[in-house]
Chain A
């Protein structure tokens, strides 16, 4: 039930944003992430954006993991 999904904001009006999921547009509350901008990836749970996902951090994490376990980038 705590599962939340990453989704991208395609429009914002006031404290409401629009995300697109599988071709369907959905309205989400942005009250908890007032800094969210159009184009941001957010974590969506029960109709609310809970956090902005850091793409930079995601890439850094995977690079660090690949390095730690010595998987060469060309291996994937």
Chain B
């Protein structure tokens, strides 16, 4: 697969030249943390003229995982706790899982939910299953496997968020001044690009499902500007090499079989209606929240961290007064600085002005 062509400097220059001809003020939100990283890595914000603003959105699963999940995992005794590596240093009210591990908690980093299921062969295992649509099918798969094979010492503490309701919250906000969304490429592999049709239909805001190479991102910016110019908000799919309008039906089926939609708590944001997938009753033996009587609740972050405002696009990371001072990747105060895809980490790594 030759993706080099999507990185071709001559092509990038041509697209940027065209973008510079636009004189309107344009604000676009890149919803997905991987886009935020790609934008930083390729220096795209610097390539764009000042009147085109890219604002980072809520698409970082680690950043929106409720603090109470970290706190309740720390209290679990005599079990193996399996997590994705990104979660290790996220601060809860009483410190991170990294700190808890140093004090003796059995925390293991896994690359795949399947690895977590394997750990259950040795010892009672709780997998902290977090993620958006991209990651959810694999987690649902392990629950179904455990059920099928009657594996009783495996359960999942879930924080499984779906993206469209978060976009709906942003699109319906009174003070919204977004002209369009750069929509997540890999979430859309599962959902399909049709999942966003409500944006133009209900809110007259368009979006482009976008890949992760610089040409992908710049072309999408151009298409969104054209939508604004022609007053023609719609959903376009720039990433058709992977994303279809309907999405992957096999992933959708397993999600539907194992999980059901419910209201969800997003760290820094609060409750978003119908934004979370929770384990169905049939599979409740595998629901760690039920097994260990864990209550997931919203907790105010008392550290002064403004991750919530960053995730909603209200501020950019350097506007947080802790950014780069007391909050750095080696000493993160909030989740947006911990996660490799958090906006604060991306700004710190790529866009910090010396």
Contact = CB atoms under 8 A, between A and B. Distances in A.
Given A32-B251, A69-B15, A43 B135 contact: no
Interface string B49-93: 000000000011110000000000000000000001010000000
Interface string B236-248: 0010111100001
Contacts of B61: 1-2
Interface string A57-76: 11001100110111100011
Contacts of B10: 71, 75-76
A32 B187 CA distance: 14
B241 A54 contact: yes
Nearest to B85: A1
A8 B206 CA distance: 34
B158 interface: no
Contacts of A55: 1, 241
Given A2-B134, A45-B134, A76 B11 contact: yes
A68 B250 CA distance: 35
Interface stretch (B97-105, B107-115, B305-313): B107-115
Contacts of A3: 34, 37, 186, 212, 341
B134 A4 contact: yes
B6 interface: yes
Given A32-B137, A32-B250, A32-B251, A48 B112 contact: yes
A48 B238 contact: no
A1 B238 contact: no
B184 interface: yes
B132 interface: yes
B21 interface: no
Contact of B241 (A4, A58, A68): A58
A33 interface: yes
A57 B317 CA distance: 36
B251 A66 contact: no
B138 interface: yes
Nearest to A58: B241
B190 interface: yes
Shortest Cβ-Cβ A-B pairs, 8 listed: A47-B112, A69-B14, A58-B241, A2-B134, A57-B241, A32-B250, A48-B138, A62-B5
Interface of B: 1-3, 5-6, 8, 10-11, 14-15, 18, 32-34, 37, 59-62, 84, 86, 111-115, 130-132, 134-135, 137-138, 141, 184, 186-187, 189-190, 212, 215, 219, 238, 240-243, 248, 250-251, 254, 339-341
Interface of A: 1-4, 6, 8, 29, 31-34, 41, 43, 45-48, 50-51, 53-55, 57-58, 61-62, 65-66, 68-71, 75-76
Given A2-B131, A51-B248, 8 more contacts: A2-B134, A2-B135, A34-B250, A47-B112, A50-B190, A54-B240, A62-B215, A68-B219
27 contacts: A1-B61, A1-B62, A1-B131, A1-B341, A2-B59, A2-B61, A2-B134, A2-B187, A2-B341, A3-B37, A4-B134, A6-B1, A29-B114, A33-B250, A46-B113, A50-B137, A53-B1, A54-B240, A58-B2, A65-B11, A68-B219, A69-B11, A70-B14, A71-B10, A71-B11, A76-B5, A76-B10
